[in-house]
Structure 1
């Protein structure tokens, strides 16, 4: 009789465990499932998980918004239609985008302007800020200042941007699992098409001057209108001697630390690409967590590109989130630990011939991130 009671208690314990973790285990897979099962019970001091599943994929049309809503994405970075020749969307243009998203049950919490994108300078329509070319630079900055004001009037709290000349550097693609292909960067095998860009030689001193010039004029306006300005790191970092004549000063963790300190403000921070920051590290699987803590505890993370890599600085492949060198379950626990309240989103997903735009890969990543958020909310 005593043995039967013991068996019955064990069965009940297993049922209770499976009822709370079963759905999550299906999403996370065996590795994260073991980590979740081993996690300590939530203590009174454990912060509540506040992060949200998000996305920054374009365009912000009714059809794409319905696609996002289908997979439970309720917060996004949006791209407003902007009248020809303008950088700053009007309040009406921003409001129409916001209203269209709301009709689909989605909130726009970040805006992507048609300038300072992660694009190659030779193809950039508005290169003056990064080229330090006045008076065009001054006019473009005035337009971005107006965008800050208009976002505030439309109730849109954040703007993302890049300070890049080289865009996203990659050396090729490699075969992934199934029929997917992955983007790769091998510095030793990279050969630029031209020795220099139209920017010419841009050493660290010149690059910091351009960044500081921009921040000195933008952050005071962001402070006044309470709009978070989220800058993406340079992807990937390159050696100090530069690549195509450019020293990518925002391609190291120390560079990002210097960047956020130039203008101390609660509205000056990072569009923190976890994948790009992992690409800066010699051992991302062990180092990334303290980097998240550094910027997160200082409230400098305004958005997260929650993606994974396999490899390290100067030699890596962008992979699905569950197969890289970074333990994403541990990473999301760190975001909860620091009280991160904004979006976690996919970025640079693998593609396949049958999925050239990566919509299936994005959907996979939405489910993966959503499962992690639900799991960390229960621990």
Structure 2
């Protein structure tokens, strides 16, 4: 689709912004003729100032971050309710919760590392807190929780010049030099990593089933060679790893916080391969959120760019999400920064408009 066609389609669809789904349960791809996906965001904090910023740019659905008492993992019913009520007072729905554990953070800086370190009995205590959070989210009407199973966090080698004065984040494996040979986790090969993942899922997903809360896991960003990086084999850094992950528990509430950018980073030719990956997980109803971002490059060598200038055809991608009946949020992520926009708020606003326009256009189509 060229620019003239895109603008024409998005203009024709300007009034077609309504459809909502029951957020409490997965939605069948049998509804694929309807466009149910929606513009969302997972940026923090979830306070009144930031919520008004989101509302200003038409963001009506978000992943929220509740206040959580110091040292705790499970937000209380009151803490979750306050977050939801504050969002709703700004016309915003909280469709996902980000807890203060299992974030995309480097293990040496993680406040709650026991689950990923396989450290008992602490990991059982932390998993019990996740179970409590699931129950509390269900009672407050918050349908999803996102999480990571990461030791290395998000690996990057620096920033490079983008268009205008924007700076783009880069990963170039050939130029990567970790500060230490190992993290506090030591050597974690594939078997060890899968044990930790399975231990967690076996204890958490049955509770998610009972309370009908979608558990959305983010891929590891980026993938590294099988021999590992800083002693860690990132098993969720390949498409095959993600395919294995979704089969560990057979559940409609076990799936992915599908970062299209991260998955593109796994591929030799993302501009050709990403669409079939979306189809694979989308047709199985395993995509619970989408980080709708673009890259230029390929596995082991890429930069994160604005959505309209990368190697992935975002119009083609959103048509595939429509094809598989994807019903949840499309969110910007890892946006470029600039000297007068250090927090990326202008870049986020640009992405909101881009995503909203694509959704309008695909509805009109």
How much does 1:65 deviate?
A: 0.1
Query: For 2:122, which of 108, 116, 136 is the aligned residue?
Result: 136
How much does 1:195 deviate?
A: 0.2
Q: Distance in 2 between matches of 1:356 and 1:338?
A: 36
1:264 aligned residue: 250
In the alignment of these two chains, the number of paired residues is 345
Confirm whether residue 295 of structure 1 aligns to residue 281 of structure 2.
Answer: yes
Confirm whether residue 182 of structure 1 aligns to residue 168 of structure 2.
Answer: yes
1:7-46 mapped onto 2 (5 Å cutoff): 21-22=7-8, 24=10
Confirm whether residue 127 of structure 1 aligns to residue 113 of structure 2.
Answer: yes
Secondary structure, in 3 states, of the residue corresponding to 1:134?
Answer: coil
Q: Distance in 2 between matches of 1:198 and 1:323?
A: 38
Change over 3 Å in CA distance of 1:327–1:205 after alignment to 2: same
1:357 aligned residue: 343
Q: Distance in 2 between matches of 1:260 and 1:22?
A: 39
Query: For 1:230, which of 216, 220, 226 is the aligned residue?
Result: 216
- Greater relative contact order: 1 or 2 (C-alpha under 8 angstroms, separation 6 or more)? 2
Query: For 2:231, which of 226, 245, 253 is the aligned residue?
Result: 245
How much does 1:24 deviate?
A: 2.9
2:28 aligned residue: none
How much does 1:72 deviate?
A: 0.2
Q: Distance in 2 between matches of 1:226 and 1:25?
A: 37
1:210 aligned residue: 196
Change over 3 Å in CA distance of 1:277–1:20 after alignment to 2: closer
Q: Distance in 2 between matches of 1:176 and 1:310?
A: 11
Between Structure 1 and Structure 2, whose CA radius of gyration is higher?
1
Residue segments in structure 1 that go unaligned for 5+ positions in a row: 1-17, 27-44
Q: Distance in 1 between matches of 2:64 and 2:209?
A: 22
How much does 1:84 deviate?
A: 1.5
Q: Distance in 1 between matches of 2:184 and 2:289?
A: 31
How much does 1:23 deviate?
A: 6.9
Query: For 1:148, which of 131, 134, 141 is the aligned residue?
Result: 134
Query: For 1:86, which of 72, 94, 105 is the aligned residue?
Result: 72
- Deviation by residue 1:11-33 (Cα, 9 ceiling, x = unmatched): xxxxxxx899537379xxxxxxx
2:206 aligned residue: 220
Secondary structure, in 3 states, of the residue corresponding to 1:60?
Answer: coil
Secondary structure, in 3 states, of the residue corresponding to 2:346?
Answer: helix
1:316 aligned residue: 302
Q: Distance in 1 between matches of 2:341 and 2:264?
A: 26
Q: Distance in 2 between matches of 1:237 and 1:210?
A: 18
Query: For 2:102, which of 116, 121, 138 is the aligned residue?
Result: 116
Which structure has more helix as a fraction of its residues? 1
Query: For 1:157, which of 109, 130, 143 is the aligned residue?
Result: 143
2:37 aligned residue: 51
Secondary structure, in 3 states, of the residue corresponding to 1:161?
Answer: strand
- Deviation by residue 1:100-157 (Cα, 9 ceiling, x = unmatched): 0000000000000000000000000000000000111000000000000000000000
Confirm whether residue 336 of structure 1 aligns to residue 322 of structure 2.
Answer: yes
TM-score normalised over the length of structure 2: 0.93
Change over 3 Å in CA distance of 1:160–1:361 after alignment to 2: same
- Deviation by residue 1:61-86 (Cα, 9 ceiling, x = unmatched): 00000000000000000000011211
Q: Distance in 2 between matches of 1:24 and 1:152?
A: 36
Quote the RMSD (CA, aligned, Å): 1.6
Secondary structure, in 3 states, of the residue corresponding to 2:33?
Answer: coil
Query: For 1:166, which of 152, 166, 177 is the aligned residue?
Result: 152
How much does 1:325 deviate?
A: 0.1
2:358 aligned residue: 372
Secondary structure, in 3 states, of the residue corresponding to 2:132?
Answer: helix
Change over 3 Å in CA distance of 1:305–1:46 after alignment to 2: closer
Residue segments in structure 2 that go unaligned for 5+ positions in a row: 13-30
